[in-house]
Structure 1
Amino acid sequence: MIEILNPAELGRARITGRIVADILQALRARTAVGTNLLEIDRWAQAMIAEAGAVSCYVDYAPSFGRGPFGHSICTGVNDAVLHGLPHDHALADGDLLTLDLAVSKDGIAADAAISFVVGDSRPAESLAMIEATERALAAGIAAADPGARIGDISHAIGSVLTEAGYPINTEFGGHGIGSTMHQDPHVANTGRPGRGYRLRPGLLLALEPWIMQDTATLVVDADGWTLRSATGARTAHSEHTIAITDDGAEILTLPTTGR
Structure 2
Amino acid sequence: MNKVSTSAAEAIADIPEGASLAVGGFGLSGVPEVLIHALHEQGATGLNVVSNNCGVDGRGLGVLLAAGRIARVTGSYVGENKEFARQYLSGELEVELVPQGTLAERLRAGGAGIPAFFTPAGVGTQVAQGGLPWRYAPDGSVALASPAKETRDFQGRPHALEHGITTDFALVRAWRGDHHGNLVFRRAAANFNPLAAMAGRVTVAEVEELVEPGELRPDEIHLPGVFVQRIVRLTAAQAADKQIEKRTVRA
* TM-score, reference length from structure 2: 0.22
Larger Rg: 2
